Structure 1
Amino acid sequence: MVAIMTVTPHPGAPPTQRPVRQLFAASVGNAVEWYDWYAYTFLATYIAGAVFPKGADNSLVPLLSTFAVFAVGFFMRPVGGLLMGAIADRHGRRSALTVTILLMGGSSLLVGLTPTYAAVGVLSPVVLVLARLLQGLSVGGEFAASTTFLVESARPGRRGLFSSFQYVSTTAGQLLASGIATLLVDTLDEGRMDGWGWRVPFVLGAVLSLVGFWIRRGARETRSEEQRRAPRPGLVEGVRRHPRESLLICGITMGGTIAYYTWTSYLPTYAALNAGVDTSDALLAGTISLAFFGLLQPLGGLLSDRFGRRPLLLFFGLGFALSSVPLLHALRDSFAVLLLVQCAGMVLLTGFTSISAAVNAEVFPARVRAAGIGFPYSLTVAAFGGTAPYVGTLFKELGHAGAFPWYVAALCLGSSLVYLRLPETAHGELRR
C-alpha cells in the first residue's frame, strides 16, 4: 500500500502562477455545475406535473418518470468520470473543464425548454431523460477534471486548502439553486409556477454556464510539458494498470459518500418520516446546516496541510462510525434538536469532504490521474451515495427504520480501516 501512495517530485510541472485565478476558475464552474444539478431536485414536483401528468394513459410515462428521477443521473456519473477524465488526461484539464460546463449548460437549457406532455405526448419525458443523462455525464466528469485541476494548481503545502473548495463551490451551487427555487415559489402563483416559472432556473443555469466557460478559458493548464509530449493514455488505462489504486479510491469514498448524502440531502426527509419533524422546519434546518458546512471546508483543508490527511480522515470515519446511531436516534419533533444533529454531522463530515480531492489526487500518477479518480469515485458514489435515500426508505417500509443508522456506521467503519493503512501524503510532492 505504501508503494501506491509514494509521491515523487514533479519537476516538469508548470509554474504555479495565478493560483487565485486557478481556484476561481475551478470553483465558479463547479458551483454552476451543481446549481444545475440541484435545481432539478428542488423543482422535481413542478417538472413532474408538466412532463409526467397524473392519469396519463401511455404506460411508458410512469416508467420513464421513475427512470428519469431516480436512476438516470447517477447511472451516467461513472461514465462521465471515465470519459471526461480521459479527455483531461489526453487533452488537458482545462479542455475537460470547458467541455463539462458547456455540456451542463446545454443539458440545463434542454430541461428548461422541454415541451409539456400535453403538447408532444411521450416525447416530453424522452427529452427530459436525455437532458438528465447529459447532466449526469457532466457532473461525473466535472469531479474528475476539477479535482485534478484544483490540486495540481495549488502551491506546495496548500493542496488541502485548494481541495476544500471542491465542496465550498458544490455547497454554494446547492444553496443558490435552493434560494432561487424558493424565491420563485414565494413570488409566483401556482398557475405561473406550473406553466413557466419552473423553467426559469434552468435557462438561468445555461447563461451561468457560459459565464463559467469564459472564466475557465482563461485558466492555466496544469499538465506539464513532459506530460503533453508523452503518449496519450488509453480510455481505461487507469483502472487496468492501477487496479489497487482504483479499489483504494472506492474504499476512501464509500463511507464519505453515504455520510454526505445522508446529512446533506436525505436527513430532512429521514427526520420527517421517523421523528415527525415538520417538513418546513426540516428544510430550514438543512439550509442553515449546509451554509455552516460550506464555511467549515477551508478550515479542514488548512488543518490537513499542517497536520496531515490521515488524522482528518480518521476523525471523520471513526466519528461517524461511533456517532451515526446515537445522532440519528436522538432525532425528535424539535427544530433545535434536528439543527444540532445536522451541524454535529457536518463537523465530522468536513474531515472527509474538505480533503477528498487532495487525497484522491495523491493516489494516482499524473498521466491517468483524472480518469483514474473519476471512474471509481463516481461508481462508488452511485452505489452508496445515490442509493442512500432509497435504502433508508426501504428500511422504513420493512419496519426496520432503526437499521439505517447502523448501515451508515458500518460503511464509515469500513472506510476507517482503509484510512488506518494510508501513508501520509500531505507534505510530499504529487506523483508524476
Structure 2
Amino acid sequence: MGSPSPPDSEDAMTSPAPIASPASATAPAASAAPDAAAATTPTPSPQSRRRLGAALIGSAVEVFDWTIYSTFAAFFAASFFGQGGDRTAYLETLVVFAVGFIARPLGSLVFGRISDVHGRRASLLATSATALIGTLLIAVAPTAQTIGLGAAILLVVARIVQGLAHGGEQPAAGAYISEIASPGRRGAWSSLIYVSIMLGGVAGTLLGAILSSTLGPDALTAWAWRIPFLVAGVAGVIAVVLVSRLEETSVFEATAAGPRPSLLREMLRSWRPALQIIGLTLGITIAFQNWAAMAGYHIAIFDADPTAVMWASVAANVLAMITLPLWGRLSDRIGRRPVVLIGFIGVAVTTWPLMRLLDGSWQHMLLAMGVSLVLLAAPLSILPALMAELVPTSVRTIGVGFSYALATAIFGGTVPALQAWIAGTWGPQNFGVYVTLAVLVSLGVALTIPETRAKDLTDRPTTEELPA
C-alpha cells in the first residue's frame, strides 16, 4: 500500500489552483475559510480516478443483482413457487425480494463495524465476496419441480446473503469516495455512486430487453432466467479483484492512528443525524424502488410487451444517469440543502399525475419514469456525500449504514409487493399516493438539515454548519 496523502484531499496535490464558486463570494465572513476550501477543485490524479472506479463497481454490481431479480421475477417465479397461479407465484417471489432488504440492517452493522475498525477497503472486499456467493446460489439453485419446498428455501437463503452484503457495501463505498475526494468535488464524486447504481439498473434491464427479444418469454420461464444471474456472478468476480487492489483512505488512517472513541458513545451522540438519514432515505427509497420495479410491474399487472417496457426503463435510467453528476456539481457550488429541496418538491408535485399516466403503454411509462427520475436524481446524487458529512469518521460507515439500511429494509423492500397488491385492490396508479406521502416526509426532514458542503471529514460534525 502506498504512503497516505494528507487527510481529506487525496487528489489535492495535482493542481493547487482553486476555482471560486458563486456561493463563496456571498457567504458570511464567518464561513469564508470553509467556503474557500469547498470551492477548491483540483484536478484528480489518475490514481484517484482508478480508486474511484474500483470503489464504484461494487455498487453497480449490487444494483444489477437486485434489478435482475425484480425484472425477471415474473419469469422465474414458477421455478421456485410451483403451486398456485402465476400472479400468486409472482407475489411470493416479491416477498422473498423484501427478505433481502430486511437482512440489510444486520449487514450494515457487521460490515460497518469492519469498515470503521479495519478500514473501508476491508469492508468493501468482504461485501463484494459475500454478495457474489448469494448471486451464484440463485444462478445454480434447483427448481421446485426438482426439490420442492427446498427451492424456495434456497432462494430465501440467497437473498439473505445478498442483503447482508448489500447492507454494508453502499455505506462503505460512500465513506470511501467521500474521503478520497477533495471538498470542492465531494458532491460530484459522490453523485457517481448513484450513476454506478443506475448503470447497474440499466445493465440489468438492458439484459432483460435483449433476452426477451431474442429468446422469448417461454425460454425465459423455462431456463434462460438463469443467464442474468450467471452474468452477475462474472461481474462479481471482477469486482472482488478490483476492490482487492484498493488503498485505504488517508482520512480513515488518520483517525485510526489516534485514540479510538467508544463506538456506543459515538453512536448515541449521533442520534440526530441517524434520524435525519432515515427520514431522507425513506422518501428516496420508496420513490426509487417504485420506478426500479416498473418494468416487471408492467409485465405482471398490465401484461405489457416485455421488450418494449424494458427498453423504456433503460432509456429513463440513462436520462437520470446523465443528470446525476450535474446535480452533484451544482451542490458543490450552491450547497446540499437547495439541491435536496428542489428534488423533493419536484417529486412530490409530479408523482401523482405521472402515475396516473401508467396504463401499460411503454410511451407513457417512459414519460412518467423519465421525468420522475430526473427530479429524484437531485437528492440521490448527493445523498452519499451528505450522509458522510453528517456523521463522525469513527462511526461513519456503521452510523450511516445502519440508518440507511433500516430505512431501505422497512420502506424499500416492500415496494414491489405493495405495488402489486395496491394495483389489484385499488387500481394500478394509486401507488402514487403512497410515494407522494413518503417524499413529503423526507422534504420535512430535509428542512432540518444544516448546510454541510464545506465539512472537513476528519472533524466531528456539529449541528451548526454553513448557513443555507
For the superposition of Structure 1 and Structure 2, which TM-score range results when normalised by the shorter chain?
0.7 to 0.9
Return 5+ residue gaps in structure 2 as ranges.
12-44, 460-468
Deviates more, 1:76-85 or 1:388-397: 388-397
Shift of 1:121: 3.3
Shift of 1:272: 8.4
Give me the TM-score of the superposition, normalised by structure 2. 0.80
2:49 corresponding residue in structure 1: 20
Mapped contact 2:187–2:382 kept (Cα < 8 A): yes
1:50 corresponding residue in structure 2: 79
1:38 corresponding residue in structure 2: 67
Mapped contact 1:115–1:124 kept (Cα < 8 A): yes
Shift of 1:233: 6.6
Shift of 1:46: 4.0
AA of the residue aligned to 1:106: I
Within a 5 Å distance, the mapping from 1:210-249 to structure 2 comes to 210-222=237-249, 223-230=251-258, 239-249=267-277
Note closer, same or farther for the CA distance 1:233–1:209 as it changes in structure 2 (3 Å cut).
farther
1:153 corresponding residue in structure 2: 180
Cα distance in structure 2, aligned partners of 1:43 and 1:140: 22
1:363 to 380, 384, 390: 390
Mapped contact 1:309–1:425 kept (Cα < 8 A): yes
2:416 corresponding residue in structure 1: 389
Query: For 1:94-147, what per-residue CA distance to the aligned partner results, in whole angstroms no more than 9, with x for missing partners?
Result: 111011111111111111121233333333322222111101111111111111
Deviates more, 1:47-56 or 1:168-177: 47-56
2:333 to 306, 310, 315: 306
Higher relative contact order (CA 8 A, sep 6+): 1
- SS across alignment from 2:390: coil
Cα distance in structure 1, aligned partners of 2:210 and 2:94: 29
Shift of 1:394: 4.0
1:131 aligns with 2:158: yes
AA of the residue aligned to 1:353: L
Deviates more, 1:306-315 or 1:331-340: 331-340
Deviates more, 1:257-266 or 1:81-90: 257-266
Cα distance in structure 2, aligned partners of 1:175 and 1:116: 27
Within a 5 Å distance, the mapping from 1:348-427 to structure 2 comes to 348-399=375-426, 403-427=430-454
1:253 aligns with 2:281: yes
Aligned length: 418
1:6 corresponding residue in structure 2: none
Shift of 1:319: 1.4
Deviates more, 1:234-243 or 1:14-23: 234-243
- SS across alignment from 1:424: coil
Note closer, same or farther for the CA distance 1:227–1:341 as it changes in structure 2 (3 Å cut).
same
Cα distance in structure 2, aligned partners of 1:416 and 1:431: 28
Cα distance in structure 2, aligned partners of 1:13 and 1:266: 39
Cα distance in structure 1, aligned partners of 2:372 and 2:430: 18
Mapped contact 1:84–1:144 kept (Cα < 8 A): no
Deviates more, 1:206-215 or 1:114-123: 114-123
- SS across alignment from 1:295: helix
Query: For 1:360-411, what per-residue CA distance to the aligned partner results, in whole angstroms no more than 9, with x for missing partners?
Result: 1111000000010111111111222222333344444443766533332222
Deviates more, 1:330-339 or 1:298-307: 330-339
AA of the residue aligned to 1:249: I
Note closer, same or farther for the CA distance 1:197–1:326 as it changes in structure 2 (3 Å cut).
closer
AA of the residue aligned to 1:266: M
Shift of 1:306: 1.2
Note closer, same or farther for the CA distance 1:405–1:110 as it changes in structure 2 (3 Å cut).
closer
AA of the residue aligned to 2:177: L
Cα distance in structure 2, aligned partners of 1:108 and 1:237: 37
Deviates more, 1:340-349 or 1:355-364: 340-349
Return 5+ residue gaps in structure 1 as ranges.
1-9
Cα distance in structure 2, aligned partners of 1:141 and 1:73: 13
Shift of 1:204: 2.7
Shift of 1:41: 2.3
1:266 aligns with 2:294: yes
1:4 corresponding residue in structure 2: none
- SS across alignment from 1:354: helix
- SS across alignment from 2:449: coil
Note closer, same or farther for the CA distance 1:211–1:389 as it changes in structure 2 (3 Å cut).
closer
Shift of 1:88: 0.7
Shift of 1:220: 1.9
Cα distance in structure 1, aligned partners of 2:90 and 2:365: 35
Shift of 1:328: 2.3
AA of the residue aligned to 1:248: Q
Note closer, same or farther for the CA distance 1:132–1:232 as it changes in structure 2 (3 Å cut).
farther
Cα distance in structure 2, aligned partners of 1:424 and 1:145: 23
Cα distance in structure 1, aligned partners of 2:363 and 2:94: 36
Cα distance in structure 2, aligned partners of 1:48 and 1:135: 18
Note closer, same or farther for the CA distance 1:319–1:403 as it changes in structure 2 (3 Å cut).
same
Mapped contact 1:233–1:368 kept (Cα < 8 A): no
AA of the residue aligned to 2:184: G
Shift of 1:164: 0.8
Shift of 1:268: 7.0
Q: What percentage of aligned pairs have identical amino acids?
A: 36
Note closer, same or farther for the CA distance 1:123–1:336 as it changes in structure 2 (3 Å cut).
closer
2:370 corresponding residue in structure 1: 343
Query: For 1:317-356, what per-residue CA distance to the aligned partner results, in whole angstroms no more than 9, with x for missing partners?
Result: 1112222223323445654443222221122111111111
Cα distance in structure 1, aligned partners of 2:360 and 2:218: 33
Mapped contact 1:68–1:129 kept (Cα < 8 A): no
Give me the TM-score of the superposition, normalised by structure 1. 0.86
Note closer, same or farther for the CA distance 1:282–1:272 as it changes in structure 2 (3 Å cut).
farther
- SS across alignment from 1:158: helix
Shift of 1:93: 0.3
